[in-house]
Structure 1
C-alpha cells in the first residue's frame, strides 16, 4: 500500500462502535443542551452585544445575531446528521476519519485540540480575574504573586485560581459523567437566571427612543456585525464529542445540537434588544456595557450579580470543553495516532482518565503560567475548519455503503444546504487576521510532523492493512 492510500484510508463505523463500548450511554437531550449552552454562552453575552452595536450594527444587532445564527445553524444541522448517523466519540476527528480518511481526521483533531485547550486555559484566567474582583468586594485581596502568569518583572509567578478551578472541574468529571452533568445543569440554570433577570429588570429602563435610528450603519453594518458575533456561537460542536455516551443518539443528538443553537440565539437577541433599549448604542463601546447601562440607570447593585453570572458562565464553559477535549484525546489515542494509553477507559467509572489527566495538566500549566492574550484568536480557526469539513462531509457520508441507513436527523435540501454551509464557513475563515493564519499554519506543520513521525507508524487502521 502506497503512502497516499495509507493516509487516506477510511475508518469503519463498526470498529469505532466496538472500541467505544466501555463508554456508558447515559446522557439525555437535556444533558446535551445544558452542555451546549454551557459552552456557547459565556461572559461574552454581557460584552459583545454592546461593543458590536456601538461599532457596527446599532440596535439592528438583533438582526446580526439572527443572521449569524442562520449561518451557524447550517453547520449545526450537518453536525446533527453526523452525530445521529455515527454515534461515536471524537466529534469532527472521528467523523473525518470515517468519511475523508485518516490524515484529514488527524488534522481536524489537531485543530480541535488547539481550540479546546486554548479556550479552556483562557477562560480559566478570566475566571481567576472575576474571582479576584468578587473577593475585593469583601475586602479580600489575593497576593499579587499568585494572581497572574509567570512574569517576575510584574511580580506575578502563578495564576493559582486558574489552576485550582481546572483541577476541581477535572476531579468532578473524573467521578463520572452523570454527577458532573448534574452540577453543570445547576450552573447553567444559574447563568440563565442571571440573564433572564437582566432582561426583566432592564425592560423597566428601556427607552424606545434609543432604538432610533434602528439601522444607523445600514445593511452592511448588519452583515459586518453578523461576522463579529458569529464567533459567539462557536462551541455547540462540543456536544458532538459526547455522541458515544448518549441515549438514543439518533434522536437526542440533533435535539441537543439544534436546541442549543435555538436557546442561545433567543438569549443573545433578548440581551441585545434590552441593552440597546436601555442605553444609546453610541455609548456602549466600553469593556462592560451591561454593567455600564445599569450604572447609568442608577442600579449599581447589578454589577455584583453580573459577576455571579459570569463565574457560572465560565464554569460551565470549562466543564463542557474539558469533557469534550478529554473525549477527543481519548479518540485519537484509541486509534493509535497518539500514545494508546490515552485511549483507555477506566472500567469502574467508565471515564477515559488518562486522557482527562493529560488535558488537565496541559490546561492547568497554560492557565497558570502563560499569558494567552495573543493566542485566543486561534480558537476560531480550528472550529471553522471543522465546520467546513463536516459540512462537505455530508456528501460522502450519504454514499458510504458500510453505514446503515439511519432513521435519525438528515440535513434538508441535500446537497445544497451542506454546500452553502461550507461556503459560509470559508467566508468566515477569510475574516480572520493574517497573524492567526500564520500561527495556525505553524500549528498544523507541527501536527504533520507528529503524524508522519509517530501516528502513521502506530495507527491501528494502517496496522490492519
Structure 2
C-alpha cells in the first residue's frame, strides 16, 4: 500500500516518455520575458497602495526585499530542477520523480488552485482598470455588467471577456503567445519608466518619516500581503518542453526575471511612498492616484494603460501555467486523457485551454475579488516548500545526476526556502489556511477515487 502511494518515475523514464507533440519555440529571452510578464502586474499596480497604507508604510520596500529573499531561495531550487528535469508540470513533475505519486498529486492539486484563482483575481483587477479607462474616454458601462452578483450586478463582463480572449490566444499557439507577451512587457516597462521619470522630481523625503510606522511586524505582514506580486516566476518552469534549450535557458529565465522584477519593485515603492503620504495610498490604483495628486496627469493616464497591459500579460502566463499542469497530470493518467490532447495544427493543448479558460472566466465574472484572492499565496508557498524538500531528497538519492545548473550552498539554500516560505504561510489568516486544508482534503479523496486507479504507473 505505502509503496503504491509513493511509486515514482525515474528522471530518465520521465524524459524519455514525454510526449514530443509540443513545439519547441522559446528562447532564453522568451522565457525571461515570460517571467517578467507573470511577475509584474497586480502586485505593483494594485497591492502596493494597500500594503503601504495598512501594513508597512514607507518600509514597504523592505517587504519586497523579504519577499524576494523567500522567492530567491525557491527560484534557485526551481532552476536546478528545470535544468535536470526539463518537462512540463513544474513542481508537480519535480515531486513525481523524487517523492512519489501521492505527494505529486497533492502538489499538482495545489497548483491547480493557485493558477486558477490567480487568473480569476487578476481578471477582476484588469476589469477595474479597464472600466476606469473607458470612463476616462466618456464610456460608462452599466453597473449590472461590471459587478459580480454579490456586489450588486449581474456579471463582471470585462473580466469574463478578457479570460475568454486570453484562452483563444493561448490555444492558437505558444509562439504567438510569447510574441504578444513580449510586446506587452515592453509596453509596461516603458510605462514604469514614465512613472519614475515623472515622479522622482516630486519626491519629498518627509513622506518617508516615520519609515517603519508599524514596526518590523508590519514589514513582515506587508511581505505576506505583497507576496502575490512575486507569483509567476515558477510559471516559467512549466514551459520546459517548449524551450529550445531547456537545460541552459530555464535557469536563465527563472533567475533573471526574478532579479529584474525585484529591482523594479523596490524602485517603484521607494518613489511611490516618497511622492505621497503612505496613508493616502489605500486605493485601487495607487500609482495613477499618486501621479494625479502631484499634477502629473499625462503620466497617470499612461500608468493606467500600463496597468491594463501589465495585468493582461499576467493572465497570459498564469493561464499558460495552468494548462501545462493539467497537461502533465493528464499525461501521467492522474486526470482524464482529454487534458493532454494536443491540437494537430496549433500543437498546443487547445481543448484544455479553452475549457479551463471558460471555467475561470465564469469564476471571474460572478465572484467578488475577495472570494477568489485569499488562497493564492498559500498555494504558491506550499509548492515552494515541497520543491525545496524534493531537491534535498534528490541530492541525497541521486548525487551523480547530471545537473546543468546546481543550486548553490545546498543544503542551506533549500532549508532557507522552506523556513522563509513556512514563516509566510504562518503569517496568513486562519480562515485562509482552513480553506486550503479543505481543498487538499477534496484533492486527496479524488486521488483515491480516480487518479490512483488510472495512473500510468499503476497500469504498468
Q: TM-score, normalised by structure 1?
A: 0.93
Contact 1:384 1:426 in 2 (8 A): yes
CA shift digits 1:45-75 (9 cap, x unpaired)? 1343343334443433323322321221001
Which residue matches 1:242?
A: 239
Contact 2:42 2:125 in 1 (8 A): no
Correspondence 1:98 to 2:97: yes
CA drift of 1:138 comes to: 1.9
Q: Secondary structure at the match of 1:25?
A: coil
For 2:208 and 2:140, how far apart are their aligned partners in 1?
A: 41
Which residue matches 2:388?
A: 391
Which residue matches 1:132?
A: 131
Contact 1:50 1:272 in 2 (8 A): no
Correspondence 1:290 to 2:295: no
Q: Select the residue among 425, 446, 459 that pairs with 1:429.
A: 425
Correspondence 1:447 to 2:443: yes
CA shift digits 1:238-291 (9 cap, x unpaired)? 111111111211211111111111111111111111112212334434443323
Which residue matches 2:314?
A: 317
For 1:56 and 1:142, how far apart are their aligned partners in 2?
A: 34
Q: TM-score, normalised by structure 2?
A: 0.94
In structure 1, stretches of 5+ residues that fail to align are: none
Structure 1 residues 216 and 357, CA gap change in structure 2 (3 angstroms): closer
For 1:159 and 1:293, how far apart are their aligned partners in 2?
A: 27
Which residue matches 1:51?
A: 50
Q: 1:57-136 to 2 correspondence within 5 Å? A: 57-136=56-135
For 1:286 and 1:308, how far apart are their aligned partners in 2?
A: 17
Which residue matches 1:274?
A: 271
Correspondence 1:177 to 2:174: yes
Q: Which moved more, 1:325-334 or 1:352-361?
A: 352-361
For 2:361 and 2:211, how far apart are their aligned partners in 1?
A: 45
Correspondence 1:230 to 2:227: yes
CA drift of 1:129 comes to: 2.4
Q: Which moved more, 1:8-17 or 1:407-416?
A: 8-17
Contact 1:188 1:313 in 2 (8 A): yes
For 1:247 and 1:404, how far apart are their aligned partners in 2?
A: 25
For 2:101 and 2:436, how far apart are their aligned partners in 1?
A: 20
Q: Secondary structure at the match of 1:272?
A: helix
Contact 1:20 1:89 in 2 (8 A): no
Correspondence 1:198 to 2:185: no
Correspondence 1:411 to 2:411: no
CA drift of 1:120 comes to: 0.8
Displacement over 6 Å in runs of 4+: none
Structure 1 residues 144 and 213, CA gap change in structure 2 (3 angstroms): closer
Q: Select the residue among 5, 11, 14 that pairs with 1:13.
A: 11
Structure 1 residues 220 and 428, CA gap change in structure 2 (3 angstroms): closer
RMSD value, Cα:
2.0
Q: Select the residue among 432, 456, 459 that pairs with 1:460.
A: 456
CA drift of 1:196 comes to: 1.1
For 2:288 and 2:190, how far apart are their aligned partners in 1?
A: 16
Contact 2:94 2:387 in 1 (8 A): yes
For 2:286 and 2:365, how far apart are their aligned partners in 1?
A: 28
CA shift digits 1:13-35 (9 cap, x unpaired)? 23432223112222111111111
Q: Secondary structure at the match of 1:451?
A: helix
Contact 1:96 1:104 in 2 (8 A): yes
